[in-house]
């Protein structure tokens, strides 16, 4: 009987000690910082210019990419960008390897690097601001 009593005491001390510091451990902050604000003038427009996109679409499909207003107006297939909704934005669909119609853009390549497409995606997600 004495052994059982000692065993119960030892188990009780272990459980009590094992629980005594619960909640005292430092918590790791798992929040993810939003991406930095993307600028149309310094980050997006230069991409369109470098790949010839802003002049290429001047006569094709009614789409102009020189200004945010023109991008939001869109062309024959509707708005190129849905501010705040990159997945519904036609411009990202056309930059993908499987566009919903026609060829992948820029037509014939070279295609934009994934990091550049991510920057465009972030700009759209941030509201496609004229900044």
User: Mind listing the pLDDT tens digit for each residue in 38-62?
Assistant: 999 999 999 999 988 765 665 667 8
Domain boundaries of the chain, sorted by first residue: 40-125
Q: Are 86 and 125 in contact (CB under 8 A)?
A: yes
Report CA 87 to chain centroid distance, whole Å. 10
- List C-alpha distances in Å: 12 to 47, 52, 61, 85, 102: 67, 74, 77, 56, 72
Distance CA 73, CA 130 (A): 13
Does pTM top 0.85 for this prediction? no
- Span 63-108, pLDDT tens digits: 888 999 999 998 888 889 999 999 999 999 999 999 998 889 998 8
């Amino acid at each position: 009987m004495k052994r059982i009593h000692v065993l119960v005491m030892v188990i009780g001390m272990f459980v009590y000690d094992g629980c005594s510091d619960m909640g005292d451990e430092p918590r790791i902050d798992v929040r993810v910082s939003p991406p930095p604000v993307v600028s149309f003038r310094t980050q997006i427009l230069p991409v369109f210019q470098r790949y010839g996109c802003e002049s290429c679409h001047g006569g094709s499909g009614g789409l102009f990419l020189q200004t945010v207003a023109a991008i939001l107006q869109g062309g024959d297939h509707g708005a190129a960008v849905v501010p705040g909704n990159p997945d519904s934005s036609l411009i990202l669909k056309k930059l993908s390897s499987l566009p919903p119609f026609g060829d992948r853009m820029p037509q014939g390549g070279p295609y934009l690097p994934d990091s550049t497409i991510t920057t465009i995606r972030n700009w759209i997600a941030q509201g496609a601001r004229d900044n």
